[in-house]
Structure formats: C-alpha cells, structure tokens
Amino acid sequence: MTPLRQKLLDAILQRGYSINTYDSYAVAVKQLIKFYHRPPDQISLCELQPFFEYLVKERKLAPASCQGYLAGIQFFYEKVMGWPPFEVPVIVPKRPQRIPELLTRSEVASIINQLSNLKHRTMLQTCYGCGLRLSELVSLKVRHIDSERNLLRVEQGKGAKDRAVIMSDALLLALRIYWQSFRPQPWLFEGQRSDRHLT
C-alpha cells in the first residue's frame, strides 16, 4: 500500500467510516490518477473539473456514482492532502425524482388477503384505509375509534395536528373482529407488552 493510500485509510478509520467507504473513495482517486496519468498530489484543483465532465459526458455515470466520486475526491484532498474545503465547478447530475408506482385497489386487496395473521392484516387494512403513516398507526388507541360515526381520531399526526379520518364499514367491521380476538387496551396495536404500542 502506498503512503497516500495508507493516509486515506487512516483518515477514514479515524472518523469511524467503514472499509467499504475506503474502497469506494480509493476507486474514485484511482480513476482520477488513471485519467491524468499523474500522482494525485500533482493534480491541481482546476484539473478536477475536466475529470468530472468526463465522468458525466463520456462515461455517462449514474448520478449516484458521480456523487460518490465527488465525495471520495473531496475527502481525499481535504482530509489527506490538507486542501481547504472546495467545490468542483461542474454540475454533477442529481438523482432523478421518481414517482412511486401506486398499487391498484385489487392489488392492495390481494396483498391484504394473503396475510394470515389477523393482527397484521388489520394493521395493514387500517393503514391503507385511513391513509396513515406508520408512526400514526402504532400510536392509535382503542378510544380513538368512534364506531357510531365511523371516525378514527389521529392525534399529533402530520404537522403535529389532530385530525379525524372517516372509516369504511368494512374497516370498522375488521377492527371489531380484531378487538374481539385480542381485546387490546389501551393501545390498539400492542407490542410484546400490553402497556406499550408496537415500535
């Protein structure tokens, strides 16, 4: 191992980073050396821009890979070579914002019906039927159910606000069947201990 690679490894381990981080950072520096055919300590800051333009335009690396190279090279020059913090004046492509694929009602129903565990099935029905976050789901209490008006009270939910959600008759029936089987109290979906909700 060369002295510079050893310094890179030492700097990474001193900060509690993993060997995988070292490997990815070392690859980034190695590719920079290969591009210029010179040791990294003989490469100037202004020469970094053409290298990243090469990664983007010629090698057409994915945004995540470009960001990984940038992180590795910045770490090497700032922490190992002692350069002051710097930015590379080239636009590294950002990760594309992907719209999540939504399941159809029949697909959701199929997933729910495949669950043999009554508690898990009811949890998924409640989460989907009321549009709850996981943190909101596990924080539900039995008293939050208003069966007369088919309402579910969600306390301190999104934006730290309380809200009421309309429940379908099918969901209310599912919750009744679940309650008759488990008799939970006070948490609707208890953890291993009845005085604590699931985490």
User: Is the pLDDT score of 187 beyond 70?
Assistant: yes
| Largest distance between two CA atoms of the chain | 77
Residue 199: pLDDT band with limits 50, 70, 90? low
| Stretch 117-136: mean pLDDT | 92
Q: Are 6 and 70 in contact, with CB atoms under 8 Å apart?
A: no
Question: What does the pLDDT read at residue 182?
Answer: 92
Closest of 108, 110, 115, 121 to residue 189, by C-alpha: 121
Q: Distance (Å, rounded) from C-alpha 23 to C-alpha 72?
A: 10
This prediction's pTM: 0.49
Top-ranked range on mean pLDDT: pick from 66-70, 87-91, 144-148:
144-148
pLDDT digits (tens, 9 = 90+) for 92-109: 566 666 666 778 888 888
Share of the chain above pLDDT 90, in %: 48
Question: What does the pLDDT read at residue 144?
Answer: 94
Q: Are 131 and 154 in contact, with CB atoms under 8 Å apart?
A: no
Question: What does the pLDDT read at residue 157?
Answer: 58
Q: Distance (Å, rounded) from C-alpha 156 to C-alpha 146?
A: 17
pLDDT digits (tens, 9 = 90+) for 14-53: 998 888 999 999 999 999 999 999 998 899 888 888 998 8
Question: What does the pLDDT read at residue 65?
Answer: 86
Closest of 8, 28, 29 to residue 19, by C-alpha: 8
Domains present along the chain, CATH in parentheses: 3-80 (1.10.150.130), 105-182 (1.10.443.10)
Share of the chain above pLDDT 70, in %: 89
User: Is the pLDDT score of 89 beyond 80?
Assistant: no
